[in-house]
Amino acid sequence: MTTSLTPAQPRVGSAFRFTGTIADVAAAGNGALFDRALSLDDHVRTRTAGIIQRVRQDGDRALRELAYSLDGVALEQLEVPGAAWRDAAAIVAPELRSALERAARNIRRAHEAWRPQPGEVETEPGVIVGRRPDPLARVGIYAPGGRALYPSSVLMGAIPARVAGVGEIIMCSPPCPSGMPAPIMLAAAEVSGVDRVFSAGGAGAIAAMAYGTQSIPRVDRIVGPGNAYVAAAKLQVASDTGIDAPAGPSELLIIADDGADADAVAREVVAQAEHDPDTAIVVIATSPDIAAAVSRGVQCLVPFEKRADIIAASLGARGALLVASDVAAAIRFSNDWAPEHLLLAVTDPGAALRDVRNAGTVCLGTTTSVVFGDYITGANHVLPTGGAARRYSGLSTMDFIRWTTYQRVTDTAARSLAGDVALLAAAERLPGHAAAARRLAPQ
């Protein structure tokens, strides 16, 4: 590969849709590469709105009807009894249960270290201003079912909520033919400390948690991944309940310098591209030689992957293999692109990290595989996508608390403040405010 390649003229046989330099991308127009925002068609939005209205109106009956029509399951009850989901979880292979528990321990340790702390400051003598983190009363975890089973996402949502001190954590997940969610999801619920589990899926489950039904209580915040209908439902209920950051397809940007292990970089590309045909993967190399080595590595791996079709579709539609003049230029591109995951496959990743501003999570070196963060390091994998890392952070205990501020003013301080407050209030034409202040002014 040479730097003369442009996004409009990819190398024949290249796995990546875009090949060239970061300057080529800018010159050719970068809409296809940068337009990753979550988009939902009118049919999805309209159908979702109808489901939400049904659940708000008919409650449990609507959820049972949806389970029968969408999942083919006739539910006798929506709530899964604690004994039943503990029994279902017991059939999960012991080694898998052990892996879940290890991931849970690490997530708990990390998020306990990040637990928000109260603070108090004396802004001037006798004037005390404080801020206290208060946990939400109840939160809901959505856990997909069917073809997409993500027990790790249950851990990532429930454990930070538990660490934050949330009073009650509920989980909704689509039912299997047994009438209960998949055993692996129930195992994750038990390991992560979920309080109640309900057999409900899709937009109906989101509506139930947002507004409450006869069986499912209303929550203060809903988190967790899902399909387009789940995403649409979360956006439509967001004015009535809290949600996590709107999430789209997974993303990875890798910066690889001349010392990078090209085979390891190729493996990371393949691992993340298997998520979904809409996954966005960008590799920025600091030389044509490294870029060519990564390209060869990817092409050697893909034919032997079980999800080869998905990987090829992802890289062919939303993959980019680019060359930058140096690591600093690559980081500038990354800060603009704002990836969900950023892997720094460079000689000094710690130094490079100092210049990173917009990324959901940053992995330092190829031994810090992105998949480790997906599951077991303790960092949260619920992360902003579509460029939202410019304004959102990954899920944490901060998402499960609200802040109560308080103020205390002593008698002496009140007399000191009163005159200036009265002046400010009068300037804003609020005489009642001014009079309240003057009452405390020195006579």
pLDDT tens-place string over residues 133-165: 999 999 999 999 877 789 999 999 999 999 999
**Residue 245 has what pLDDT?**
82
In this predicted structure, the answer to whether residue 13 has a pLDDT above a threshold of 60 is no
Residue 175 main-chain phi, psi, to 5 deg? -80, 145
Nearest-CA neighbor of 220 among 141, 158, 139, 162?
139
List 341, 381, 428, 433, catalytic entry: 341
Nearest-CA neighbor of 441 among 408, 416, 407, 409?
416
**Residue 14 has what pLDDT?**
57
Instruction: For domain 42-121+134-243, give the CATH superfamily.
Output: Nitrogenase molybdenum iron protein domain (3.40.50.1980)
**Residue 143 has what pLDDT?**
93
DSSP string, 309-358: HHHHHHHHHHEEEEE-SSHHHHHHHHHHH--SEEEEESS-HHHHHTT--S
Query: Per residue in 28-56, pLDDT tens?
Result: 555 667 777 666 788 999 999 999 999 99
**Would you say how long the chain is, in residues?**
443
**Residue 31 has what pLDDT?**
61
Q: Which residue has the higher pLDDT, 8 or 384?
A: 384
Q: What CA–CA distance (Å, rounded) separates 78 from 212?
A: 13
Query: Per residue in 329-368, pLDDT tens?
Result: 999 999 999 999 999 999 999 999 999 999 999 999 999 9
Which H/E stretch holds residue 172? strand 168-173
In this predicted structure, the answer to whether residue 1 has a pLDDT above a threshold of 50 is no
CATH fold group of domain 18-38+248-378: Rossmann fold (3.40.50)
Q: Locate CATH 3.40.50.1980 in the chain.
A: 18-38+248-378, 42-121+134-243
218 in Cβ contact with 209 (< 8 Å): yes
Q: Give, as one character, the DSSP assignment of residue 403.
A: E
Cβ-in-10-Å burial (0-12, 13-18, 19+) of 326 comes to exposed
List 275, 340, 428, 433, catalytic entry: 340
Q: Is 341 a catalytic residue?
A: yes
Place 6 in a pLDDT band, splitting at 50, 70 and 90: very low
Place 9 in a pLDDT band, splitting at 50, 70 and 90: very low
Strand order in 401-409's β-sheet?
Answer: 119-124, 127-135, 401-409
297 in Cβ contact with 266 (< 8 Å): yes
235 in Cβ contact with 98 (< 8 Å): no
Place 412 in a pLDDT band, splitting at 50, 70 and 90: very high
Query: Per residue in 220-252, pLDDT tens?
Result: 999 998 888 999 999 999 999 999 987 788 999
427: which residues sit within 8 A by CB, 6+ positions away? none
For 146-241, where are the alpha helices, taking DSSP H only?
Answer: 151-164, 183-192, 202-211, 228-237
Return the structure tokens found at 280.
Answer: 């966005």
249 in Cβ contact with 287 (< 8 Å): no
Q: Is 381 a catalytic residue?
A: no
Place 8 in a pLDDT band, splitting at 50, 70 and 90: very low
Nearest-CA neighbor of 70 among 84, 83, 55?
55
Percent of all residues in the chain with a pLDDT value above 90, rounded to a whole number: 79
**Residue 4 has what pLDDT?**
35
Question: How far does Cα 173 stand from its chain's mean position?
Answer: 18
